[in-house]
């Protein structure tokens, strides 16, 4: 089995969690931690057991030993950082939101093709065993047809105009940060909607601090999706079928609820150690083993559909980013 040298680009919060999960994979070598600041990279590398530390993103990309880069910077930089990696022929796993808008995602996809390098959005829930079970239930029709999806992702975040959650220059707003998960869930299970309704509360920095979205489909199906930083919700995803319902939790240790007719059962799906990020990293390396430049499970066409839906939702509000003007 080939071992891949991973580099982290941006040593922030999620990069730390991801690196801990990467340690669980025998074919992943924690090779380089990269920050704009060498001291920070050195500290991160020592804490998480990376072989090397770089104080410049570009310097790390010039290292021929780097096979694959995990991009964990704020969304407003994803496009530029992904292009830089791919121009240096590095495979890329880039955090969600993949980029700020459709135009940026299209540029990333084009660069992957031109440079013949792997590119995937880091959407760990695509590999979550509970979600995979939901997809099986939909496909098998054991509960009939899926009619409605309800999905929330809300947590309280104290207002800070400089923090990436609220700062427009860093792609702030709940939709691109966490609302993307409910939108992803609806697209994966029901497909692209025929109509979209949106009600957003924009805060002082003119980003959505709360957003409620309704998707409607010509076949009668619908989805109610929401995200926000104003309060904390259960953050479950519910799937209502003709003859039953399923509820899954974002927390990996909570059982799935499965209702058929009047009977409600708990389904416990055995999970590996870790936070689930190792599953996406494992998949990336499986794809690289097969010389693929995109994932069959999370194809780039899906990431493009996802950002198109997010753009449409934003167009129905007045959420506008500086990146939209470039």
Ligand X SMILES: NC(=O)c1ccc[n+]([C@@H]2O[C@H](COP(=O)([O-])OP(=O)(O)OC[C@H]3O[C@@H](n4cnc5c(N)ncnc54)[C@H](OP(=O)(O)O)[C@@H]3O)[C@@H](O)[C@H]2O)c1
Which residues sit at the interface with ligand X, rule CB under 6 A?
10-15, 35-37, 40, 72-75, 77, 95-96, 122, 124, 164, 170, 177
Instruction: Give the nearer residue to ligand X in terms of CB position, either 54 or 258.
Output: 54
Q: Provide, rounded to whole angstroms, the least separation between the CB of residue 164 and ligand X.
A: 5
**Distance of closest approach, residue 206 Cβ to ligand X, in angstroms:** 19
218: Cα within 13 Å, side-chain hemisphere: 2
Residue whose CB is less far from ligand X, 100 or 287: 100
Q: Which is nearer to ligand X, 56 or 147 (CB)?
A: 56
Does a cis peptide bond (omega within 30 degrees of 0) precede residue 97? Answer: yes
Cβ atoms of 223 and 147 within 8 Å: the answer is: no
DSSP per-residue codes, 191-253: -S-SEEEEEEEE-TTSSEEEEEEEEE-TTS-EEEEEEESSS----EEEEEESSEEEEEESSTT
Nearest distance from residue 191's CB to ligand X, in Å? Answer: 23
Residue nearest ligand X, Cβ-based:
12
Rounded CA-CA distance 323/326 in Å is 6
- Under DSSP, the state recorded for 7 is E
Which CB, 35 or 226, lies closer to ligand X?
35
3-class DSSP state of 119 = strand
Query: Minimum distance between the CB of residue 55 and ligand X, rounded to whole angstroms?
Result: 9
CB 87 within 8 A of CB 111: yes
* 3-class DSSP state of 52: strand
Instruction: Report the nearest approach of ligand X to the CB of residue 286 (Å).
Output: 19
Q: Please, which residue, 180 or 186, has the CB nearer to ligand X?
A: 180
Per this entry, what is the length of the chain?
326
Closest Cα to residue 108, out of 303, 326, 263? Answer: 303
For the CB of residue 89, give the shortest distance to ligand X in the complex, in Å. 22
Measured from the CB atom, the residue of 170 and 245 that comes closer to ligand X is 170
Provide the minimum distance between the beta carbon of 184 and ligand X in the complex, in angstroms, as a whole number: 11
Exposed/middle/buried for residue 320 (C-beta within 10 Å: 0-12, 13-18, 19+): middle
Nearer to ligand X (CB atom), residue 77 or residue 166: 77
């Amino acid at each position: 089995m080939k071992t891949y040298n991973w580099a982290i680009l941006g040593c922030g919060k999620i990069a730390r969690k991801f690196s801990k999960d990467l340690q669980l994979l025998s074919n992943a070598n924690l090779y380089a931690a990269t920050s704009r600041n060498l001291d920070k990279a050195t500290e991160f590398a020592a804490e998480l057991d990376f072989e090397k530390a770089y104080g410049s993103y570009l310097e790390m990309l010039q290292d021929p030993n780097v096979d694959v880069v995990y991009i964990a910077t704020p969304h407003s930089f994803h496009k530029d950082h992904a292009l830089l990696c791919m121009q240096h022929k590095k495979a890329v796993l880039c955090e969600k939101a993949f980029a700020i808008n459709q135009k940026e995602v299209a540029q990333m996809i084009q660069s992957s093709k031109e440079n013949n390098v792997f590119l995937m959005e880091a959407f760990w829930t695509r590999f979550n065993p509970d979600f995979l079970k939901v997809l099986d239930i939909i496909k098998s029709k054991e509960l009939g047809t899926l009619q409605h999806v309800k999905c929330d992702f809300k947590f309280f975040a104290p207002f800070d105009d400089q923090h990436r959650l609220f700062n427009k220059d860093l792609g702030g707003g709940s939709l691109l940060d966490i609302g993307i998960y409910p939108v992803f869930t609806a697209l994966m299970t029901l497909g692209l909607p025929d109509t979209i309704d949106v009600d957003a509360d924009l805060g002082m920095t003119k980003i959505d601090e709360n957003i409620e979205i309704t998707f409607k489909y010509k076949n009668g199906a619908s989805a109610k999706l929401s995200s926000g930083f104003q309060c904390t919700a259960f953050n479950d995803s519910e799937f209502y079928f003709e003859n039953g319902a399923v509820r899954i939790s974002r927390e990996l240790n909570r059982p799935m609820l499965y209702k058929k007719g009047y009977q409600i059962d708990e389904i416990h799906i055995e999970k590996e150690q870790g936070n689930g990020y190792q599953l996406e990293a494992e998949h990336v390396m499986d794809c690289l083993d097969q010389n693929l430049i995109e994932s069959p499970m999370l194809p780039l066409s899906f990431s493009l559909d996802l950002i198109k839906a997010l753009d449409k939702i934003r167009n129905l509000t007045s959420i506008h980013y500086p990146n939209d003007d470039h």
